[in-house]
Amino acid sequence: MVKAYRMPKLAMAMNEGTVTEWLVEDGAFVELAQPLATVETEKVAYEVESPEAGYFRRMLEEGDTVDCDVVIGFFGDSLEELGEATLDEFSDLGDQSDTPEAIDTASDSPTHEKNFSERQKVSPAARKKATQSGINVSTLQGTGPDGRVVLRDIETALVSLQDLSLPAGTVLARVPMTGMRGQIAGRMQQSLLAGAQLTANWESDITELLALKDNLPTRISVNSLLVRALVLAIREVPMANACFEGDSIILYESINVGIAISVEGDSTYDTGLKVGVLPNAESLTLVEIDVQLKALIDRIRNNAADSKDLVGSTVTLSSTAGIGPPGLMSTPILNSPNVALLGPSTPVKRPVVVGDDIVVRTLLPLSFTFDHRALDGEPAARFMRALHDVLESPAGLLD
């Protein structure tokens, strides 16, 4: 008996996964609970175990990305059974998108009729990539099972096109749009396309905030102070602590702050980014925020984070302080489905008027991106004012 093995849904927010490494050979016999593959989502990599014992046939190449519940392999009692199994047999077990779609590639061209069948199989990941890239799959010879076009065929075609358009010279590096880089790219594009994003920029005087920080008995990071300030501002304007779910805006009582954390990529030129989540920040003191935030960053950068560290944010903090030039103003992209993101940058000293005097003060550039579908200008302005006030009069951060 042959059973289909589908891309597992490993987290509530997971819509698709990438098989980054098969841990068993194609056609090998695997035991129950034996490590089967490494699957990467946009947030974390998982080692998935075999749900049963049997001979296993792989139907996905390493690096291919498919939606959850798409068939990625078969289990069988014998190699003979596996050799006879086809994806079409399992098209009735779920949504039709689970199986490669037969795309009509008929053409009046004699060359087409000679080199390609009129019904060509295309894997879901390849079909998605081809649509995004403008690749005509009818011009490709598939290298997947039964001659289907798979993701690597699209990527090979893209490389060929890039080679034709690249200027002459030595290529420094080629960074594949797969794995973490591909997941980040997809999420950023999806976020921009799905929402009505708007960014407001201003500067807050943090001279008193830095003085408070230096006089605390415990060393506290600026990011921890900003998380605490974010919590206090959300108390004034709860709509900034919300997410989209379908056609509804969900407001949350708990404030789960997502923190954008840079991580190492696959190469020198492939930097990565993960959003760690500090849950229930509204119930934490400033010292507790600092302790938990530092531990969260350590876990993520040491690849020790689990799925609970990476899901469930309700608002996001994405800081470029100390990285970008002083005074930088930016337009950060929302961490969907959150409706708000705060992007502080590198502080800068400027002469400002205080009373009747001109004095040098430290100003913090702030960028606030929000989804105008959820936040109108008036509540967004109130939120920014509340945040500005607590940063410039920081005693309340200790309450």
Query: How many whole angstroms separate alpha carbon 106 and alpha carbon 113?
Result: 8
Catalytic option among 67, 98, 376, 389 = 376
Could you tell me if 322 and 262 are in contact, meaning their C-beta atoms sit under 8 angstroms apart?
no
CA distance to 177, 203, 269, 311, 325, per residue, from 384 (Å): 36, 11, 35, 26, 23
Phi, psi of 7 (to 5 degrees): -55, 115
* Residue 388 annotated to the active site: no
**Helix runs in the chain, H state only:** 79-84, 110-115, 124-133, 151-165, 179-194, 207-215, 222-236, 286-301, 377-392
Catalytic option among 98, 298, 372, 399 = 372
Could you tell me if 319 and 293 are in contact, meaning their C-beta atoms sit under 8 angstroms apart?
no
Phi, psi of 312 (to 5 degrees): 95, 15
Alpha-carbon dihedral sign for residues 50, 55, 61, 65? negative
Instruction: Give first-to-last CA distance, the chain, whole Å.
Output: 65
Place of tokens 């876990």: 299
Beta bridge partner(s), residue 343: 367
Query: How many whole angstroms separate alpha carbon 57 and alpha carbon 27?
Result: 5
* Residue 112 annotated to the active site: no
3-state secondary structure at position 110: helix
CA distance to 27, 220, 360, 387, per residue, from 213 (Å): 61, 7, 19, 17
Catalytic residue ranges: 372, 376
